[in-house]
Chain A
Amino acid sequence: MVLWSVIVIVALIAVLAGYLFVVGGQLTRIADLLEECAELVRRIKANAEPIRPGLEHINRTGGVVAGALPLLYGFAEGIVTGVSPRRDPDPEDRSPARPASGTRRSRLHDGVGYRPSGASTMAGHGAPRSEV
């Protein structure tokens, strides 16, 4: 009975000591990891600090640029309009462009011996010149 009592008490103490050792090791590792996490969070904070002022700067400058661009291309349009030669519209000059030498019959048909019906037999000299 006494021996069993001693065994039970020693077993209880051994179990408590063993698990305490294991849990202590785990908690130590967790503490190290959390310390590393804290350092990482500090680095992230340091990296994120210039984002807001930088973006505000970019947005402010970009807004000024965007507001000035219409002024610039307004100037450009005015310059292009100013330097282009003026040409009054001529209603008589609205017909399609034709060659000054007039048109003539193609000789390609003569080359292959083709004589379309109703065509002139004057080889080499085609249709009369059109009015220019």
Chain B
Amino acid sequence: MAVPEISVLLTDTERNLWTGAIVGGIVVVLAVAALLTILVLLVRTIEQRVTTVRDKLQAAVENTEDTALIAETADGVEAVLGEGLKHHLFLGRVYEKVRA
């Protein structure tokens, strides 16, 4: 089955305009490629910085993992206070005896 030849009948002006449109399209394609390249590079930078933020947050998590010990320390200081009160009572009794 033979493919019929298509012949476009155009005037010179129309042909020039079409050629101009094709050249403009190529320029647009190149401009789009350039802009999208910039976009990809910027997104890559964002990705790298988000990775850095993730690493810093990971370090912060590791640094704050032992904060549960603060409550235990508070209990220890409370025990020191209790012991100090016992010393206070003991020294008070001894002091009274010595004065007597």
Interface on A for B, CB 8 Å cutoff?
Answer: 1-2, 4-5, 8-9, 11-12, 15-16, 19, 22-23, 26-27, 29-30, 33-34, 36-37, 40-41, 43-44, 47-48, 50-51, 54-55, 57-58, 61-62, 64-65, 68-69, 71-72, 75-76, 78-79, 82-83
Q: Who on chain B is nearest to A52 by CB?
A: B70
When the two chains form their complex, are residues A30 and B43 in contact, meaning their CB atoms are under 8 A apart?
A: yes
Interface on B for A, CB 8 Å cutoff?
Answer: 6, 8, 15, 18-19, 21-22, 25-26, 28-29, 32-33, 36-37, 39-40, 43-44, 46-47, 50-51, 53-54, 57-58, 60-61, 64-65, 67-68, 70-71, 73-74, 77-78, 80-81, 84-85, 87-88, 91-92, 94-95, 98-99
With A8-B26, A50-B71 as given contacts, are A78 and B98 in contact (CB-CB < 8 Å)? yes
B85: shortest Cβ distance to chain A, in Å? 7
Task: Give every chain A residue within 8 A of B21 (Cβ-Cβ).
Answer: 5
When the two chains form their complex, are residues B70 and A34 in contact, meaning their CB atoms are under 8 A apart?
A: no
